């Protein structure tokens, strides 16, 4: 009998004091609202037409942002008390908060023309139109607000923002904050304008203000405690939380850090946020969590994004991000399905550029020729724009107009960032077919724009390298990439270091190769000293690449000994990738031995057996293949280990030796 025990806790005659105290304290401790809600629900159940129960329930639900339940309360109150106007207003407001814009608008039409709530109705209608992204209607309504009302200035600022008139919007918000003094929501709006204008330090300053005040005035919101590893209870979605603008500010901070590629700082901004349970999270926070978790836990990231695009509404970025991530993980079929099933979203949420790009990527799976043509059209369009901007930049320089130079330089940068993915996807079609000369041609056409771009230089180097007769030229492209980070050589991609060593060896610069390898070895030793548990594969990769080179040229004794050496010590060097390259060489060795094309000394074969036994020993926890994040059927976990494969290779080798 839950009913008697809950209500029985409060003495009769004490109801008013206890319930209103709960409601008062609820602003700081949402659990108090929950107490009130539990009690009021019992009263409502035993007397469904109790005005007091419904009104207070509606209030508590509203202030815990449970708008669906609040809507129901006010709907009943409107039916029971059709003369009480503020119930109608609250009902309409709850519908608006639930994003049921059409229903909310209909509800605002239910007032007498001489209503006392004219201004509130006007503002609510404007908010509904703003929510529906109907900016001209929203503007017409906002302009009817009295000039003395500071909200008018703010709301005009919001509309200007949505129309991408950022400077004007910013001016409105700055003006409003001068009129009214500090307000967290205004500070957020200003920060948001700076974010869109890419003036991140100014945005960060305002975000800092919001956070600092939030911490000072609301210590109960537990800002930063989760990051410090302290287990804290959810602070709930109270209106108080909403009024501090902390959730908005922390998401904006995460967004800025993400744009600056400071992913750890972005993650920290999200964990610094006042703690809430996962089911309480708003769509923006959930989206940003998904984006940041992609590197560590792609399966979870996908799950969140897939959940979000079934919600109404979801952050507009969700759709494009989900599609791009599907493509990144090569789930082209899933991307194609989502696009086909949500044609209306493709128009609403994808820029023409993104639509064309995704379309070409997906086409590539069925028709590389068509995809190549599509990428080529896009590339041509973008190189025209780049050329035009370059000309405008030169003209502005001659006219010594610094502002214009800066503006065109900025646009040029942005366009180049759009051009690079097109160019690389186009080149990759030939790369996959191993038409390296064609890839080189594609790059030669783009040299005028990209010669300073690191990704471009890297891919050019790879293409020269793979042709096997242009090691000198490849050195010329790899070397600057390595030299640039010579002091932190482990920050350079291991494959770049390896290919540079091979290029040195192939052009007779063995000393340079040896020096580079010594440098890597030294840095790895230092790292092993400071963080002994960290796996580091750089020198190992270099040896694997060199070993493979010798094996492929038929010098198995030297090549295989390099491979064997590369994986020592096994506890640190045995990984999925390194095993993959090592086993390729062993398979080639086995094949050549079986065909009796080569003869290997017994001592070397014994070393091989020993090596495979070591891999067997250390490889129980190392997967042979990393499974993609969304695969339903998993590989046999016993077979998907280095131990299993090493044992297989060993038995093959033993057979051949007999």
Partner 1 sequence: EKEQLKLIKPQFETPLPNLQPAVFPPIFRGLPKPHLELFDLDEAFSSVQTRLIQVANKCTDEDLEYYI
Site for partner 1 in 63-102 (CB under 8 A): 70, 74, 86, 89-90, 93, 96
By CB under 8 A, the residues from 610 to 649 that bind partner 1 are none
- 153 or 524: whose CB is closer to partner 1? 153
* Binding positions for partner 1, 312-371, rule CB under 8 A: 315-318, 320-321, 324-325, 327-328, 353-354, 357
User: In this structure, what token pair is assigned to residue 112?
Assistant: 């007498």
Stretch 385-424: interaction string toward partner 1, x if CB under 8 A: --------------------------------xx-xx--x
Contact, 570 vs 614, CB < 8 A?
A: yes
d(CA 394, CA 388): 10
CA nearest neighbour of 85 among 53, 120, 59: 120
- As measured in angstroms, the least distance from the Cβ of 364 to partner 1 is 11
When the beta carbons of 226 and 262 are compared against partner 1, the nearer one is 262
Interacting positions 140-169 with partner 1 (CB under 8 A): 145, 149-151, 154-155, 157-158, 161-162, 169
Contact 19, 56 (CB under 8 A): yes
Share in percent of the chain as helix, strand, coil (round to 5): 75, 0, 25
The only residue of 33, 37, 56, 101 in contact with partner 1, by rule CB under 8 A: 56
List the one residue from 465, 537, 611, 618 that touches partner 1 (CB under 8 A).
465
Q: How far is the CB of 506 from partner 1 (least distance, A)?
A: 10
Q: Give me the least distance between CB of 162 and partner 1, in Å please.
A: 7
Residue number, 543 or 643, with CB nearest to partner 1:
543
What are the φ/ψ torsions at residue 552 (nearest 5 degrees)? -65, -25
C-beta of 396 vs 624, nearer to partner 1: 624
Least Å from the CB of residue 396 to partner 1: 27
Helices (H), 115-245: 118-131, 135-142, 150-162, 166-180, 184-196, 200-217, 239-244
Query: Does the footprint of partner 1 cover residue 539 (CB under 8 A)?
Result: no
Q: Between 425 and 446, name the residue whose CB sits nearer to partner 1.
A: 425
Buried b (16+ CB within 10 A) or exposed e, 333-362: ebbbebbeeeeebbeebbeeebbbbbbbbb
From candidates 47, 380, 451, 526, binder to partner 1 by CB under 8 A: 47
Q: Determine phi and psi for 536, rounding to 5 degrees.
A: -140, 125
3-class secondary-structure state, position 359: helix
Judged by CB, which is closer to partner 1: 320, or 409? 320
Nearer Cβ to partner 1 (357/408): 357
CA 530, 534, 540, 545 dihedral sign is negative
Which one among 50, 199, 306, 438 touches partner 1, defined by CB under 8 A? 50
Residue nearer to partner 1 on the CB measure, 62 or 345: 62
Q: How far is the CB of 612 from partner 1 (least distance, A)?
A: 18
Nearer to partner 1, 182 or 620 (CB): 182
Nearer to partner 1, 145 or 574 (CB): 145
Whether the ω angle into residue 272 lies within 30 degrees of 0, i.e. cis, is no
**Residue closer to partner 1, measured from CB, 127 or 513:** 127
Per rule CB under 8 A, is residue 609 in the interface with partner 1? Answer: no
Q: Which of 7, 110, 234, 415 binds partner 1 (CB under 8 A)?
A: 7
- Residue 124 touches partner 1, criterion: CB under 8 A: yes
- Least gap, CB of 109 to partner 1 (angstroms): 16
**How many whole angstroms separate alpha carbon 633 and alpha carbon 485?**
42
If one asks whether residue 208 binds partner 1 (CB under 8 A), the answer comes out as no
Q: Give the distance from CA 460 to its chain's centroid.
A: 28
Q: How many angstroms separate the CA atoms of 343 and 359, rounded?
A: 13
Distance of CA 12 to the CA centre of its chain: 54
Q: Is 43 in the site for partner 1 (CB under 8 A)?
A: yes
Residues 499-538 that bind partner 1 (CB under 8 A): 499, 502
- The window from 56-64, 213-221, 386-394, 520-528 that contacts partner 1 (CB under 8 A) reads 56-64
- Show the DSSP H helices in 197-351 as ranges: 200-217, 239-244, 246-259, 263-272, 283-293, 298-308, 317-328, 332-341, 343-349
Length of the chain: 658
**Nearer residue to partner 1 within complex by CB, 172 or 405:** 172
Helix axes 436-450, 454-466, angle to 10 degrees: 160
**314: helix, strand or coil:** coil
Q: Which residues ranging from 250 to 289 are in contact with partner 1 (CB under 8 A)? A: 251-252, 254-255, 258-259, 266, 283-284, 287-288
What is the smallest separation between the CB atom of 390 and partner 1, expressed in angstroms? Answer: 22
Which stretches of 399-537 are DSSP H helices? 402-432, 436-450, 454-466, 471-484, 494-506, 510-530
* Minimum CB distance to partner 1 smaller for 64 or for 643: 64
For partner 1, give the closer residue by CB, 364 or 643.
Answer: 364
Phi, psi for residue 629 in degrees, rounded to 5: -65, -25
Q: Closest CB to partner 1 among 395 and 591?
A: 591
Locate 599 and state its tokens. 């003869």
Q: How many CB atoms lie within 10 A of CB 95?
A: 25
Q: If binding is defined by CB under 8 A, does position 130 make contact with partner 1?
A: yes
Question: Which among 206-214, 492-500, 514-522, 643-651 is the span making contact with partner 1, rule CB under 8 A?
Answer: 492-500
Answer yes or no whether residue 552 interacts with partner 1 by CB under 8 A.
Answer: yes
Question: For partner 1, which residue of 458, 600, 630, 656 counts as binding (CB under 8 A)?
Answer: 458
Q: Rounded to an integer, what distance in angstroms lies between the CA atom of residue 359 and that of residue 487?
A: 42
Q: Pick from 105, 137, 204, 239: which binds partner 1 (CB under 8 A)?
A: 239
Q: What are phi and psi of 499, to 5 degrees?
A: -65, -35
- Least distance (Å) between residue 399 CB and partner 1: 32
Q: How far is CA 421 from CA 328, 417, 526, in A?
A: 12, 7, 37
Residue 97 CB, nearest distance to partner 1 (Å)? 8
Cβ closest to partner 1, residue 208 vs residue 617? 208
Q: Which tokens belong to 612?
A: 């495979």
Nearer residue to partner 1 within complex by CB, 361 or 405? 361
Per rule CB under 8 A, is residue 593 in the interface with partner 1? no
> If binding means CB under 8 A, how many residues of this protein chain bind partner 1?
115
Residue in 104, 127, 516, 649 binding partner 1, rule: CB under 8 A = 127
Distance CA 61, CA 71 (A): 9
CB of 292 to partner 1, least distance (A): 8
Cis upstream peptide for 313 (omega within 30°)? yes
Residues near 509 by Cβ (< 8 Å), separated by ≥ 6? 475
Site for partner 1 in 573-592 (CB under 8 A): 581, 584-585, 587-588, 591
Single out the residue of 33, 62, 375, 579 in contact with partner 1 (rule: CB under 8 A).
Answer: 62
The tokens describing 508, both together, are: 């007779």
Distance between CA atoms of 390 and 384, rounded to whole angstroms? 10
């Amino acid at each position: 009998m839950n009913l008697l025990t809950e209500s029985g806790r409060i003495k009769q005659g004490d109801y008013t004091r206890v319930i209103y105290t709960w409601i008062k304290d609820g602003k700081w401790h949402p659990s108090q609202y929950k107490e009130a809600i539990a009690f009021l629900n019992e009263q409502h159940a035993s007397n469904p037409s109790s005005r007091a129960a419904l009104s207070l329930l509606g209030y508590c639900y509203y202030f815990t942002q449970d708008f669906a339940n609040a809507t129901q309360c006010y709907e009943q109150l409107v039916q029971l008390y059709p003369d009480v106007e503020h119930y109608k207003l609250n009902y309409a407001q709850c519908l608006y908060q639930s994003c049921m814009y059409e229903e909310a608008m209909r509800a605002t039409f239910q007032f007498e023309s001489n209503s006392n709530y004219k201004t509130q109705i006007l503002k609510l209608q404007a908010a509904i139109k703003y929510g529906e992204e109907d900016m001209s209607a929203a503007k017409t309504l906002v302009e009817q607000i009295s000039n003395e009302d500071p909200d008018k200035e703010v709301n005009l600022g919001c509309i200007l923002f949505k129309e991408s008139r950022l400077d004007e919007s910013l001016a409105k918000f700055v003006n409003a904050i001068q009129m009214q003094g500090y307000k967290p929501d205004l500070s957020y709006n200003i920060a948001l304008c700076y974010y869109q204008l890419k003036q991140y330090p100014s945005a960060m300053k305002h975000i800092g203000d919001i956070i600092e005040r939030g911490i000072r005035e609301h210590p109960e919101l537990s800002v930063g405690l989760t990051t410090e590893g302290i287990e804290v209870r959810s602070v709930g979605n109270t209106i108080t939380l909403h009024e501090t603008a902390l959730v908005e500010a922390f998401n904006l901070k995460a967004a800025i850090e993400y744009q600056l590629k400071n992913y750890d700082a972005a993650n920290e901004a999200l964990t610094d946020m006042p703690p809430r349970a996962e089911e309480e999270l708003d769509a923006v926070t959930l989206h940003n969590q998904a984006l940041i978790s992609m590197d560590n836990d792609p399966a979870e990231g996908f799950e969140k994004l897939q959940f979000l695009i079934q919600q109404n509404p979801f952050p507009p970025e969700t759709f494009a991000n989900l599609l791009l991530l599907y493509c990144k993980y090569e789930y082209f079929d899933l991307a194609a399905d989502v696009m086909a099933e949500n044609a209306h979203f493709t128009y609403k949420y994808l820029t023409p550029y993104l639509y064309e790009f995704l379309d070409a990527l997906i086409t590539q799976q069925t028709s590389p020729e068509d995809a190549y043509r599509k990428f080529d059209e896009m590339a041509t369009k973008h190189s025209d724009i780049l050329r035009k901007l370059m000309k405008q930049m030169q003209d502005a320089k001659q006219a010594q107009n610094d502002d214009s130079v800066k503006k065109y330089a900025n646009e040029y940068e942005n366009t180049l960032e759009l051009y690079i993915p097109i160019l690389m996807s186009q080149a990759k079609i030939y790369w996959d077919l191993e038409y390296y000369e064609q890839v080189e041609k594609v790059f030669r056409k783009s040299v005028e724009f990209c010669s300073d771009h690191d990704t471009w230089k890297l891919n050019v180097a790879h293409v020269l390298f793979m042709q096997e007769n242009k090691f000198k030229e490849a050195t010329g492209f790899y070397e600057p990439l390595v030299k640039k980070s010579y002091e932190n050589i482990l920050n350079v991609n291991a494959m770049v270091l390896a290919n540079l060593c091979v290029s040195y060896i192939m052009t007779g610069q063995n000393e340079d190769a040896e020096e580079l390898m010594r440098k890597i070895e030294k840095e790895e030793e230092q790292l092993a000293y400071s963080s002994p548990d960290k796996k580091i594969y750089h020198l190992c990769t270099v040896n694997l690449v060199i070993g493979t080179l010798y094996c492929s040229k038929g010098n198995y004794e030297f090549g295989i000994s390099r491979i064997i050496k590369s994986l020592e010590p096994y506890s640190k060097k045995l990984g999925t990738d390194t095993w993959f390259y090592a086993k390729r060489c062993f398979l080639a060795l086995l094949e050549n031995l079986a065909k009796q094309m080569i003869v290997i000394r017994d001592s070397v074969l014994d070393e091989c057996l020993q090596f495979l036994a070591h891999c067997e020993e250390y490889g129980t926890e190392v997967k042979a293949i990393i499974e993609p994040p969304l695969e339903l059927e998993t590989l046999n976990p016993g077979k998907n280990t280095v131990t299993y494969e090493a044992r297989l290779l060993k038995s093959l080798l033993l057979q051949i030796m007999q």
